[in-house]
Amino acid sequence: MTTNLIIIGAGELGRETLNWASQSIAHGASWRIKGFLDSRPDVLNGYDYSVKILGDVEHYAIAENDVFVGAIGDPREKVKFYTPILERGGQFINLIHPLATIGKNVRLGTGVILAPFSSITCDAQVGNHVTLLSYSNAGHDTVIDDWCQISGHCGINGGVALGKGAFLGSHTCLIPKTQIGAGAYVGAGSVVLQDVAAGVKVFGNPAVPFGKM
């Protein structure tokens, strides 16, 4: 039976997911691309997609052979989009882009997106609905909890732990054994030399607190 592949969200990450799915089908995957789920009326503006919006995620009727692929970058948006599907028993697959490097004993949760050239080395653990964008790296013994977003060109060195919903801006660097609390925000270009408490915003080199989420 052919699987209906449904991309959650459109826009830039939707394009990446669509390209990945199209290439997989061309190489023999028994899927058909059914379309996007997205509630934003202007989400296709500026994009020339071959597939259209099926409707919003809260009211979509899940078919037996539907499988959903996450394509949303913002963890707060992920909660809104994934929860109604998960509550109704929807099936997901992990989107792992070409040229990603996955080490030994790595555990990947549901709905993980690894952009091209991402690298996760041995014994890392990645939670559910995590986004790793281009050129990101996660070192050995790193633990990334659910709903985290790691932007491009980040350096996550060995033994780092990211709490649920943490956000790392592009070009950030975390030294080994750093603990980033749940919901914490690390601004772009920051160098984190010490633990960041839950819900705290930090920025700079070295990174210092500048507010709460």
Catalytic residues: 129
| Spatial distance between the Cα atoms of 119 and 163, rounded to a whole number of angstroms | 20
- What is the secondary structure of 78-110 as a DSSP string? HHHHHHHHHHTT-EEE-EE-TT-EE-TT-EE-T
Between strands 179-180 and 200-203, the pairing is: unpaired
How deeply is 160 buried, as exposed, middle or buried, from its count of CB atoms within 10 A (0-12, 13-18, 19+)? buried
Which distant-in-sequence residues (6+ apart) come within 8 Å of 148 by Cβ? 75, 127, 130, 131, 162, 164, 165, 166, 167, 168
- What is the secondary structure of 180-201 as a DSSP string? E-TT-EE-TT-EE-S-B-TTEE
